[in-house]
Structure 1
Amino acid sequence: MSHSAAVPDSALPAKRKLPVAVYVLGLAVFALGTSEFMLSGLLPPIADDLGVSIPDAGLLISAFAIGMVVGAPLLAAGTIRLPRRTTLIGLLIVFAAGHVVGAVADSYALLFATRVISALACAGFWAVGAAVAISMVPVDARARAMGVIVGGLSVANVAGVPGGAFLGQHLGWRSAFWAVTVMTLVALVGVVTLVPKTDRKPGEEPPRLKAELQVYRNPQVWLAMGTVALFAASVFSFFSYLAPLLEDVSGLSEGWVPMVLALFGVGAFIGTTIGGRVADDHLFGTLYTGLSATVVVLILATFLADYPIAMVILSGLLGLAAFTTAPALNARVFNIANGAPTLAGATATSSFNVGNTVGPWLGGLVINAGLGYRSTAWTGAILAALAVAAVAVASRTARSETRLVAASEVPADTEVPAAVRD
């Protein structure tokens, strides 16, 4: 088919505004994400108050991450027949209650338990909330909707660490837990009042776990999961050790570090916004561009780690480049797991948190091997390059499937063009 004639702008479909409920879900993710990130700035006061070492206090972060990995599929499966809006409300109540108990906890064990419970509730909300957001928009707006959801996490990254540290220094670490409780309650009111019911229509069959599990027979689903995990691992194998790299290698003073970390978060928010706007029309192009740029930025960081100004700029560019891909990665999972909308959200959530767990571990391995903090940038670059390769395989497979469908729809007595045959 010829496309020599340009299509006038007036003939192109206008992008509709996203429902307000999608932004409400983004606000809720901001509250939940703040809890996940804020502990990085609260470890010393928590350790002092509860009489444990800082490494033990650091296990509170690991507990939340593992709870996210395990909780997303378990809660998605366990609530698959429940009304989604009711599930979201219940999970926010549990999350808020976990932080109330955490705020008054007088022992490390109790605080640890609240982190696990909160992580489970957070993971379940992510999975179900993403499915609700996707269900409220057309297929060509999925990346935009996920951009809003992931954007809530990006803003939490910007505000969570410095905000938690500020509250911990001035009002004690428990004030940060109370702050998250208040934000969660605000999000709860928004969900109750503005998120519509997305229950089954009359006569519609309820979703069945066995049927949704069939989606995992599709190799493309596993490839998408691996790509998400590689993306997260590439970013966090480097970002987790950015603070000591900036101080010990780049020579920045300690006071500059929170601002650089916040700059990464600002870049991530801008990248998420851009990715959400362009990925619906150019999904694979967005993935190629963002992940390839991530590889370039991380390689530059290995050579420019000694220069503080360069590292400040590269930190912001890393957030921008990497998180441009986040909406596209999530939309890709939902597109290929379309028959399992509930488990699709859980799949994307767990995959991200697998990478978020494995990345820092790999970064720690290369540091402990005596290769230094700058080696984490090489680790991240290699992981991001593997993600690019995975996208290439997925793109090639998607094109082949499209050509097969196109060929099957051509009448038997019609010659198939060489471009389709090949």
Structure 2
Amino acid sequence: MSTPSSHSENRQPAASERVIPPVTTHERLVVALVTLLQFAVIMGFTMVMALGPDFATSLGIPLDHLGYIVGSYPLAAAVGTLLWTRHADRFDRRWAVLGFLFGAALCHLIASFATDFETLLAARMLGGLFGGPAAATALAIVIDVVPGVRRGRAMGLVMGAFSVASVLGLPFALWLSQGFGWQAPFRAVALLALLVCGLLAWILPPIRGHLDNPETRQRSRKGTTILTILAQPDHRLGLALIATAMFSNFLVIPNLASYLLFNLGLPREDLGGLYMIGGGLSLVGMQLTGRLCDRYGCVWPGTITCLMTALVGWAFLLHSPGPSLIWIGFGAYMLFSSARRVTQNTLNSFIPADHERAAFTSTQSAVQHLSSAAGSYVGAGLLVSTPSGALEGMPLLVAVLMVALVIQPLQILWLSRRLARR
């Protein structure tokens, strides 16, 4: 069973057309499987953010170097997706995503045997080479299968994998690390990715509508170059939006665990529960925002979530909240920061034509990972750890964050107006 698609379904619906038909069983199955795949990929990426203090202590890595460990994965993922872009639309997407996920699983296993900063850095970069194309191809599958009028909800579900990772995955990884050593979470994620590979091979139908459709077959087989993507104004605007969003996200996220533990004095045993609460709130925010995008478009949900992220970030990161307010501030930041990314990814899903979907999502993934790495490295460069582990330099980091968050609503408005005129 292949999945055809048409470019007419990929335009952004006008307000008068926002009547949302029922979801088909086929869509539910594909979205569920892709969400599970994204959960495995995201766990492989994000667990180092929470585990940083644990493996840093064991391997003798300075805390202010954690941003480099976090940033190595998206940097390599960007390289992997850029190399994949030209070929991304030439194959059945099911087999492509299976191959990349299997490679990522092996790399997580290799990372568990790291002995110092250099070997862990190398293993993380190798994992990124496979994880980046896996995530990009999975996103192309969702765009192929789900029509535009329901795509906000689907994007909310798929991106909710990040929240599920926070609610279930990261607390479990922290528990494994505390009880069995920092290596245990890496091995658990490798096993999870292999299990997901088995499910995908067994259940996921072929995704080759871009190859079976006579209108797009020839262009898909020729491939789409990065220069072709970048030559189109709408594509450039969408990529710039993602770059700004991910840069602002990763200025903060890699340093949150250290900030909570050493600046705010959060007990180590509370870290898992805090991520669980934050992930749960972000999951709710993503689902609600996805539905709002389907009903009302992306402009005002995107504007509100960006400005609320800025307000909460300013209060939470600069004013050292007390013990009870730590939970409120962290939860609110995770909620709004995650919700704004749903609006941005939903809006970008309307940009590519059928024959260039995987090429566009691969280029978008590369930009996303490069900007994530840039945010991680800039954050690491702006912050300095004291002998006690506390991070200094937060005011300057927050100032950069505020500028990036204020720019994003303007980018969303500009891109939305251009897409509406197509």
Equivalent of residue 163 in structure 2, options 154, 165, 173: 154
The farther-off stretch of 168-177 and 302-311 is 302-311
Structure 2 CA distance, aligned partners of 1:74 and 1:218? 20
Alignment of 1:336-415 (within 5 A): 336-339=351-354, 340-368=356-384, 372-398=393-419, 401=421
**One-letter code of the match for 1:16?**
V
The aligned runs of 1:2-401 (5 Å cut-off) are: 12-17=19-24, 18-43=27-52, 46=55, 59-104=68-113, 111-199=120-208, 200-201=211-212, 203=214, 204-205=217-218, 207=220, 208-210=222-224, 213-247=227-261, 250-281=264-295, 282-301=297-316, 304-339=319-354, 340-368=356-384, 372-398=393-419, 401=421
**Please, what TM-score do these two structures have when normalized by structure 1?**
0.81
Tell me which amino acid in the other structure corresponds to 1:14: P
Deviation at 1:34, TM superposition (A): 0.9
Q: Relative to structure 1, is the Cα distance of residues 243 and 93 closer, same or farther in structure 2, using a 3 angstrom cutoff?
A: closer
State the secondary structure of the residue aligned to 2:23.
Answer: coil
Does the 8 A contact of 1:290 with 1:324 survive in 2?
yes
The structural deviation recorded for 1:126 is 0.8
Is the CA contact (8 Å cut-off) linking 1:267 and 1:317 kept in structure 2? yes
User: Any conservation in 2 of the 1:33–1:157 contact (CA below 8 Å)?
Assistant: no
Farther-moved stretch of structure 1 (149-158 vs 48-57): 48-57
Q: Which structure is higher in RCO with an 8 Å CA cutoff and minimum separation 6?
A: 2
1:307, CA displacement in angstroms? 3.5
Structure 1 window deviating more from structure 2 (52-61 vs 289-298): it is: 52-61
Cα RMSD after superposing both structures: 3.1
Query: 1:177: Cα distance to partner?
Result: 2.2
- Separation in structure 2 between the aligned mates of residue 323 and residue 389 of structure 1, nearest angstrom: 18
- AA at the equivalent of 1:284: V
Pairs aligned (count): 392
Residue identity opposite 1:205 in structure 2: Q
Summarize the Cα distance change of 1:56–1:377 in structure 2 as closer, same or farther, 3 Å threshold: closer
Quick one: percent identity of the two aligned structures?
Answer: 21
CA contact (8 A) 2:37 2:196 kept: yes
| Kept in 1: contact 2:71–2:377 (CA 8 A) | no
Alignment gaps of 5+ in structure 2: 1-15, 386-390
Alignment-derived partner of residue 409 in structure 1: none
